Structure 1
Amino acid sequence: MSQPVLVLIDPVTPTSAPSAERLRIVPADQPIVTAADLGVTRGDGIFEVIGAVRGQMQATEAHLTRLSRSARMLDMPEPDLAIVEEASRLALAEHEPVEQLWIKIIVTRGVEGSGHPTAWVYAFEGEDSSAAQRDGIAVVRLDRGYRSDVAATSPWLLAGAKTLSYAVNKAVGREAKRRGADDVIFTSSDGYVLEGPTSTVIARFGTTLVTPPPEDLGILPGTTQAALFEIAGELGYATEYRALRSAELEGADGLWLVSSGQQIRPVNTLDGLEINRDRELDDALLEKLLYRTH
């Protein structure tokens, strides 16, 4: 495994200071966050993970747009997206060449009362997803405990923000393991499909690929899902954003979980029920996702 690269950004908010004074490469094992940082004590912060394949960052603009969106949802200072992108590209350039790299962007609210966010970019080799991409995964559905309209009725719950508060997402991963599964699809308490803990859900019905609408359901807008929809169109498939009832997944002609790090993982079973797979289509989508240039 290669050595990760850590780039500090200070300040991450807009300033007239040159980037050379704002970016600093430090040893990846060096402590950079104080014990009073709200990212540590409260999980109060936001993040993004940009995938890079063969030295090419993917969906960079979409990830930065989503980072800004999350900052607004949390009432955090607006990050300077230009310096965040520069730090990401610096981390990529400083990392030794590898086939696939994950570039994680972290912005916390900083030390309580300081009004000064803490920010860094961490480039590293993520887990090997090739087996799941090739062989598929077993998935279970878990009720998230919210209605599908929670984003409209209770915006303070931050549904759809990509925050550092990941205790629930990690807990459902452990629950999936207890149930003999690899991952989870969240459903709403009123029976709609939402998302995975770290992924977007896409279902195929005939020649149409469907994903839940993020703005309506309070889920994260999928950067990899958006790329896959573009690819699907090139392959002759129709695409659609619409609310999906949980029961509809059982009759899908294909089902995938997609994300920046793991790209695309076909679902073999859903709560033990076998799901159809078109392996030729799976392979074509994976190939095009991996080697896209934007």
Structure 2
Amino acid sequence: MLLGRGVVPTATPVVGVDDLGLTRGHGCFDATRVRFAAGVADIDVLELHIARLHRSAAALGIPCPEPAAWHDLTQEACRVYAGDGEAMLKLVLTGGGETLPAGPVAYVTLTEIGEETFRQREGITVATLSRGVASDAYADAPWLLGGVKTIAYATKLAAKEEAHRRGADDALFVSTDGFALEAPTSAIVVRHGRELATTPTGATGVLASITIDRIAEAAPQEGYTLTHRLFTPADVRAADGAWFVSSVRGVAPIRRLDDVDLPTDTTGDDVVRRLAGF
């Protein structure tokens, strides 16, 4: 669904050959889950994802359509979607033409969520990988775009491929000073008793997670607190439970980290899923 054009067949080109999103990864996106039942779409916290998309666009200096335009585009996409069950809604904004006079391109896609995602909600194995920077590397370097959800995902895809080569489902980035950061497409949460902990944003370059915000808001209702603090992979292994959380996959319990089996925290699984809205 392309802003200004409406429904576009999947095989129809929508960006020019010199679009900065295509040639240099200069663009941003956001994504969330949509549940379809009897033709009715239930979109998870769409306004929060549109707001984060606007923050990403501002960091990149790309003019972003107004929230109402994204909302209308999304509603139209849901109206014509032919699937059922769960789908991934992706909102994409490119940087526009590099040499040709073409402005940014805004579009949304809906893709059915596959069985592999549902499997990973039951548990995943994870490999730790160095991110190659210290935990405070982004403190005084906003041009590194820490915490910005850009479409330049080559490094994150490469990390996932390396995790697969090591026999794991996903990767956990670790800073050069030894702290757990985030997964390529997820935040991490660990439980110690009634405390849930996640990595701080800001200087770490970790993306501010909408799912984490939902957990933090709901946690006191279940007698839990959510803390933003640094911790190590050893702390993850010693926790009562650990999870990767994200807007589409939802809550994925970490069952193995490198060569160490983690405890199955059934109580924690249920709590974190409820807090995250899954």
In the alignment, structure 2 segments of 5+ residues that lack a partner are: none
1:156-171 to 2 correspondences below 5 Å? 156-171=143-158
- Return 273-282 or 168-177, whichever deviates more: 273-282
In 2, the alpha carbon distance for the partners of 1:48 and 1:76 equals 15
Of residues 213, 217, 222, the one that matches 1:235 is 222
Of residues 124, 130, 139, the one that matches 1:152 is 139
Could you say what secondary structure the match of 1:84 adopts? helix
CA deviations 1:179-228 (Å, max 9, x no partner) are 11110111111122211100011111111101111124211111112222
**Measured at CA, do residues 126 and 112 of structure 1 come closer, stay the same or move farther in structure 2, by a change above 3 Å?**
same
In 2, the alpha carbon distance for the partners of 1:241 and 1:59 equals 22
- Return 79-88 or 226-235, whichever deviates more: 226-235
In 1, the alpha carbon distance for the partners of 2:194 and 2:271 equals 15
1:133 maps to 2:121 = yes
Whether the 8 Å CA contact 2:190–2:240 is kept in 1: the answer is yes
Give 1:175's aligned residue.
162
1:45 maps to 2:39 = no
- How far residue 246 of structure 1 moved from its aligned partner, in angstroms, is 3.4
- How far residue 289 of structure 1 moved from its aligned partner, in angstroms, is 4.0
1:28 maps to 2:10 = yes
In 2, the alpha carbon distance for the partners of 1:146 and 1:42 equals 22
Of residues 200, 218, 228, the one that matches 1:213 is 200
1:90 maps to 2:76 = yes
- How far residue 29 of structure 1 moved from its aligned partner, in angstroms, is 2.4
1:119-130 to 2 correspondences below 5 Å? 119-128=106-115, 129-130=117-118
Could you say what secondary structure the match of 1:41 adopts? helix
Give 2:49's aligned residue.
63
Give 1:223's aligned residue.
210
Whether the 8 Å CA contact 1:263–1:289 is kept in 2: the answer is yes
In the alignment, structure 1 segments of 5+ residues that lack a partner are: 1-6, 10-21
Whether the 8 Å CA contact 1:101–1:124 is kept in 2: the answer is yes
The count of corresponding residues between Structure 1 and Structure 2 is: 272
Could you say what secondary structure the match of 1:8 adopts? coil
1:99-114 to 2 correspondences below 5 Å? 99-113=85-99, 114=101
Of residues 172, 180, 198, the one that matches 1:193 is 180
1:72 maps to 2:58 = yes
1:203 maps to 2:190 = yes
- How far residue 276 of structure 1 moved from its aligned partner, in angstroms, is 1.8
Of residues 2, 10, 13, the one that matches 1:8 is 2
* Letter of the 1:255 counterpart: A
The TM-score with structure 1 as length reference comes to: 0.87
In 2, the alpha carbon distance for the partners of 1:178 and 1:94 equals 39
In 2, the alpha carbon distance for the partners of 1:288 and 1:250 equals 22
Give 1:278's aligned residue.
265
Whether the 8 Å CA contact 1:187–1:193 is kept in 2: the answer is yes
Whether the 8 Å CA contact 2:83–2:112 is kept in 1: the answer is no
**Measured at CA, do residues 120 and 178 of structure 1 come closer, stay the same or move farther in structure 2, by a change above 3 Å?**
same
- How far residue 288 of structure 1 moved from its aligned partner, in angstroms, is 6.0
In 2, the alpha carbon distance for the partners of 1:118 and 1:143 equals 34
Whether the 8 Å CA contact 1:256–1:266 is kept in 2: the answer is yes
Give 1:263's aligned residue.
250
